């Protein structure tokens, strides 16, 4: 083992422990934030400023199946694009073998808190269309024994934000590559 790879291993081990601790803290408290690492943060844009439409073209070169997807579509005019939700991810985009993960991935546990950094709880509960739904969702989500297995996460109802056939699976917390099946085969249907 080279000095460098040993060093990398140590970094991974430390990262794994940190993630383990923050994950269990998250589960017990059902609290949104894990530490102050900016990696986890999705920032709410300044609502006083009229944002430019988000430019997603860089990512859509490969992720063409998400071009007209609902979650992408509703956010684009408001300046919320791939980058705001997944990070700049230059290294991911430039990796021809596609072994490098994007910067921000979303575990199920992170979906609601992150969506709710921009869509505040009170606004969700007060919304005309989704108010009742949101009340039930937030109650279910807070229910730790998970006896009610109805919709629990925002993306259960909002969007079709998926890749049907995965060829790369990363650990969404650490970015570690867990599975690789052949070359990348992205969905081409819209
Ligand atoms: C970085 C901030 C940000 C994040 C994160 C974010 N949104 Fe949004 N979202 C907005 C903005 C800004 C709008 C447009 C203004 C508005 O309706 O609040 C919007 C609009 C929406 C709308 C349409 C609202 C309407 O009026 O029809 C839905 C639905 C929505 N978001 C769901 C989600 C879900 C689900 C997530 C998590 C996967 C999410 N958003 C994450 C900022 C964000
Ligand atoms: C059980 C399904 C369901 C789940 C889960 C759900 N929503 Fe909704 N949501 C709705 C419905 C239905 C509407 C009203 C129709 C529409 O705008 O799509 C709505 C509307 C919205 C709107 C627009 C509100 C407005 O004032 O017009 C936003 C923003 C939103 N949802 C965000 C979220 C976020 C964030 C989550 C996760 C915390 C979430 N939703 C989870 C069903 C759901
Ligand atoms: C409003 C925030 C938001 C925006 C904007 C957004 N994403 Fe996502 N993305 C998410 C969330 C949340 C998930 C996890 C969805 C889930 O597990 O239900 C996700 C998951 C994904 C996945 C993994 C899907 C799978 O099958 O596991 C890909 C690929 C992806 N996003 C690419 C993109 C690209 C490319 C763009 C821009 C065209 C984009 N995203 C824009 C929030 C966003
Ligand atoms: C050169 C092609 C390419 C470009 C450009 C690209 N991606 Fe990807 N991306 C991939 C491949 C391949 C996968 C793995 C798909 C699979 O499982 O088959 C992936 C997976 C993802 C995932 C899923 C991560 C998860 O949760 O498992 C996200 C999120 C993502 N990309 C975001 C982005 C964003 C944001 C951009 C633009 C900044 C981008 N990608 C640009 C090829 C690309």
Q: Ligand 2 centroid vs 132 CA: distance in angstroms?
A: 10
What is the tens place of the pLDDT at every residue in 3-54?
Answer: 566 656 555 655 555 555 454 444 444 433 444 566 666 777 777 778 899 9
Residues 118-165 pLDDT 10s: 999 999 999 999 999 999 999 999 988 878 889 999 999 999 999 988
Measured by CA distance, the residue closest to atom 20 of ligand 2 is 130
Q: Find residue 180's DSSP bridge partners.
A: 168
What gap in Å lies between CA 184 and CA 118, rounded to an integer?
33
Determine if ligand 2 sits within 6 Å of the CB of residue 133. Answer: yes
Ligand closest to Cα of 82 equals 3
Q: Can you spell out the DSSP letters for 20-71?
A: HHHHHHHHHHT-S--SS-GGG--PPP-TTS-PPPP--HHHHTT-GGGTT-HH
Could you identify the atom of ligand 4 that is nearest to the CA of residue 83?
A: 35
Starting from the CA of residue 187, give the closest ligand: 4
Closest ligand to the CA of 81: 3
- Taking the C-alpha atoms of residue 139 and residue 129, their distance in angstroms, rounded to an integer, is 18
Query: Looking at residue 29, what is its pLDDT?
Result: 40
The mean per-residue pLDDT over the stretch 85-108 comes to: 94
Predicted local distance difference test score (pLDDT) of residue 136: 95
Model pTM?
Answer: 0.87
Average pLDDT, the chain: 82
> Is the CB of 62 within 6 Å of ligand 4?
yes
pLDDT at 70 exceeding the cut of 70 = yes
Ligand 4 pocket, residue 139 CB under 6 Å? no
Domain coordinates in residue numbering, the chain? 49-180
Closest by CA to 39, choosing from 95, 88, 73, is 88
Instruction: Say if residues 105 and 170 touch (Cβ distance below 8 Å).
Output: yes
C-alpha angle 161/21/174, rounded to 5°? 45
**CB-based contact 79:54 (threshold 8 Å):** yes
Beta bridge partners of 24: none
Question: Which pLDDT score, from 0 to 100, does residue 26 have?
Answer: 46
pLDDT surpassing 60 at residue 189: no
For residues 172 and 163, what is the distance between their CA atoms, to the nearest angstrom?
A: 15
78 lines ligand 1 (CB under 6 A): yes
Residue nearest to atom 8 of ligand 2 (CA): 130
Q: Which of 120, 149, 155 is nearest to 136 (CA)?
A: 149
So what's the pLDDT on residue 106? 95
104 Cβ below 6 A of ligand 1 = no
Average the pLDDT over each of 6-20, 55-69, 172-186 and give the range with the smallest value: 6-20
């Amino acid at each position: 083992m080279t000095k460098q790879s040993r060093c990398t291993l140590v970094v991974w081990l430390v990262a794994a422990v940190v993630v383990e601790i923050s994950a269990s803290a998250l589960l017990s408290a059902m609290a949104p934030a894990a530490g102050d690492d900016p990696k986890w943060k999705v920032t709410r844009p300044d609502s006083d400023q009229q944002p430019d439409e988000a430019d997603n073209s860089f990512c859509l070169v490969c992720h063409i199946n998400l071009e007209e997807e609902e979650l992408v579509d509703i956010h684009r005019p408001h300046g919320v694009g791939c980058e705001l939700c997944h990070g700049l991810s230059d290294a991911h985009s430039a990796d021809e073998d596609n072994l490098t993960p994007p910067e921000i991935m979303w575990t199920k546990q992170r979906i609601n808190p992150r969506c709710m950094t921009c869509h505040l709880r009170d606004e969700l509960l007060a919304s005309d269309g989704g108010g009742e739904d949101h009340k039930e969702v937030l109650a279910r989500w807070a229910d730790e024994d998970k006896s009610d297995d109805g919709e629990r996460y925002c993306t259960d109802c909002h969007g079709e934000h998926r890749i049907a056939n995965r060829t790369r699976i990363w650990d969404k917390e650490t970015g570690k590559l867990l599975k690789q099946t052949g070359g990348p085969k992205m969905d081409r249907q819209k």
